[in-house]
């Protein structure tokens, strides 16, 4: 059995912008020894090899700061006419499913992914998207994940391409760049150039009309075949949250 880790390592990153900042602070082992002393064990009776246990505190970790999955409530307060689901309401059955990788790494910066791109890639690889498929969009922008400007790189899913995946039964999907849509500055420039009010966050806003869940900041999609693997998505169970950091793995089918 071969397992590919599709998640970023959660690491203290002091140079990241605030919305991507993670702060992790280790506690002193001496504090543990002090706690045990306060519980009543004299220092003279502590084992000679007891340094104190290791412990750490996550001082800052936004739910969208690392590899994560967004809930419908992130896109809007209503989805399909009902109150939008929060992250702990993601059905676990939807978190495990056959995976398909769509290689969109050839797409230029700011060039949105459309239905024709997806259809051409499926025709090239022979992969199929069906009910329960977890679709992964490969852009290779994860190579910039340590760059403070990471959020400025990428292509992005169009609304029509997102709805096309949902129509074929893929309600959980993901991408290996900062966001599901084009980077913000590219969306804004395009909206101004075309004088359109429907372009900003267009793929996210599909979730107002159609309930779906997407992952952002995946990694290692270049290590997967177009199909023939199972994706496991395990988000933290955060009540009422708009997203959750997730450990995402792919298990390649035995040949």
| pLDDT for residue 254 is more than 80 | no
The answer to whether position 16 is within a domain reads no
Q: Which residues span the domain enclosing 47? A: 22-60
Structure confidence by residue, pLDDT tens digits, 65-82: 999 999 999 999 999 999
**Do 196 and 140 belong together in one domain?**
yes
Find the helix or strand (DSSP H, E) in which 207 lies: helix 206-209
CB 151 within 8 A of CB 186: no
Residues 165, 75 within the same domain:
yes
Residues 238, 119 share a domain: yes
Residue 14 lies in a domain: no
* 50 and 77 fall within a common domain: no
CB contact burial 141-164 (16+ within 10 A = b; e otherwise): bbebbeeeebbebbbbbbbbbbbb
pLDDT at 13 over 70: yes
pLDDT tens string 184-243? 999 999 999 999 999 999 999 999 999 999 999 999 999 999 999 999 999 999 999 999
Count of domains in the chain? 2
The answer to whether 246 touches 4, Cβ cutoff 8 Å, is no
pLDDT digits (tens, 9 = 90+) for 116-166: 999 999 999 999 999 999 999 999 999 999 999 999 999 999 999 999 999
**CB distance 99 to 231 below 8 Å:** yes
In a domain, 77, yes or no: yes
Q: Are both 40 and 94 inside the same structural domain?
A: no
SS3 247: strand
* Bridge-based pairing state of the strands 68-70 and 56-61: unpaired
* Tokens 């064990």 belong to residue: 41
Grouping H, G, I as helix, E, B as strand and the rest as coil, residue 126 is coil
| C-alpha–C-alpha distance, residues 253 and 223, integer Å | 14
Report the distance separating Cα 175 and Cα 164, nearest Å. 16
124 and 27 both lie in a single domain: no
């Amino acid at each position: 059995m071969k397992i590919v880790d599709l998640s970023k390592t959660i690491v203290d990153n002091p140079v990241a912008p605030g919305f991507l900042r993670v702060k992790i602070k280790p506690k002193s082992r001496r504090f543990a020894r002090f706690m045990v002393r306060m519980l009543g064990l004299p220092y003279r009776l502590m084992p000679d090899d007891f340094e104190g246990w290791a412990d750490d505190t996550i001082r800052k970790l936004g739910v969208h700061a690392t590899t994560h999955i967004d809930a419908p409530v992130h896109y809007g307060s209503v989805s399909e006419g009902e109150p939008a689901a929060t992250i702990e309401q993601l059905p676990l059955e939807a978190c495990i499913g056959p995976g398909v990788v769509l290689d969109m790494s050839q797409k230029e910066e700011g060039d949105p992914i459309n239905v024709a791109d997806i259809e051409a890639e499926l025709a090239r690889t022979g992969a199929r998207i069906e009910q329960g498929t977890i679709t992964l969009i490969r852009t290779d922008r994860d190579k910039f994940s340590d760059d403070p400007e990471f959020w400025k790189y990428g292509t992005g899913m169009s609304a029509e391409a997102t709805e096309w995946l949902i129509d074929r039964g893929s309600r959980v999907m993901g991408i290996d760049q900062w966001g599901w849509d084009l980077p913000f500055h590219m969306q804004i420039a395009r909206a101004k150039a075309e004088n359109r009010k429907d372009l900003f966050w267009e793929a996210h806003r599909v979730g107002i009309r159609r309930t779906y869940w997407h992952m952002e900041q995946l990694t290692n999609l270049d290590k997967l075949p177009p199909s023939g693997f199972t994706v496991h998505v395990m988000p933290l169970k955060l009540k009422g949250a708009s997203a959750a950091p997730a450990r995402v793995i792919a298990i390649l089918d035995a040949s």
